[in-house]
Amino acid sequence: MTITSLHPRRAARECTLKAVFAYNFSNNEGSIIIAQLIEKNPEIKKNKDFIVLLFNYVIKHMLWTDKLIKAHLENWEIDRVAQIDKILLKMGICEIYFIDDIPPKVTISEMVEISKIYSTDESPVFINGILDAVYKDYQKQKKV
């Protein structure tokens, strides 16, 4: 599946995943990484604002999202979680908490679907479970 055949938000999420992954393993600034990804895939340029927004939330809240993920891991250390899964979880958490115009269930579904492409066979169930638990906690916090 090419990036042009994707829904615009799906393509933007995949670009964000790639940008965060590259950021974690390089010395480049996020803006440079995103510009390079858009240059290679000009059709996602119209979603640049969303990509930058989500990327910045993920980077800014890296430690907080780690703590949130750790709190929902059972008999598992965060260091053992695949990098792609960690990034997708962080993206999902940031969408749930900070991007109000996207229903959380859509966010969870999108992260699960992207994990089917970029991660392991076990990842979709794992990501769904963690993000669902995070969302339930988020709902409880909103009621208080």
- Asked if 41 and 82 count as a contact pair (C-beta separation under 8 A), the reply is no
What local confidence, expressed as pLDDT, does residue 5 receive?
A: 56
Q: Is 118 helix (H, G, I), strand (E, B) or coil?
A: helix
Radius of gyration from C-alpha coordinates of the chain: 15
Q: Which domain holds residue 136?
A: 3-143
What local confidence, expressed as pLDDT, does residue 4 receive?
A: 46
Give the Cα separation of 60 and 51 in Å (integer): 14
**pLDDT band at 77; cut points 50, 70, 90:** confident
Q: What is the mean pLDDT of the segment spanning 13-29?
A: 94
Give how many domains the chain has, as a whole number: 1
Give the Cα separation of 144 and 93 in Å (integer): 19
Q: Residue 9 is part of a domain; what is its CATH number?
A: 1.10.940.10
What local confidence, expressed as pLDDT, does residue 143 receive?
A: 77
What local confidence, expressed as pLDDT, does residue 144 receive?
A: 65
What local confidence, expressed as pLDDT, does residue 142 receive?
A: 83
**pLDDT band at 1; cut points 50, 70, 90:** very low
- Asked if 20 and 121 count as a contact pair (C-beta separation under 8 A), the reply is no
Task: Pull the structure tokens for residue 137.
Answer: 């906690």
Residue type for position 119: S
Q: What is the mean pLDDT of the chain?
A: 93
**pLDDT band at 76; cut points 50, 70, 90:** confident
Query: For residues 77 and 109, which has the higher predicted lDDT (pLDDT)?
Result: 109
Q: What is the pLDDT of residues 89-121, one digit of tens each?
A: 999 999 999 999 999 999 999 999 999 999 999
Give the Cα separation of 52 and 42 in Å (integer): 15
**pLDDT higher than 80, residue 55:** yes
- CA contacts within 13 A on the Cβ side of 116: 9
The Cβ of residue 31 has, within 10 Å, a number of other Cβ atoms equal to 12
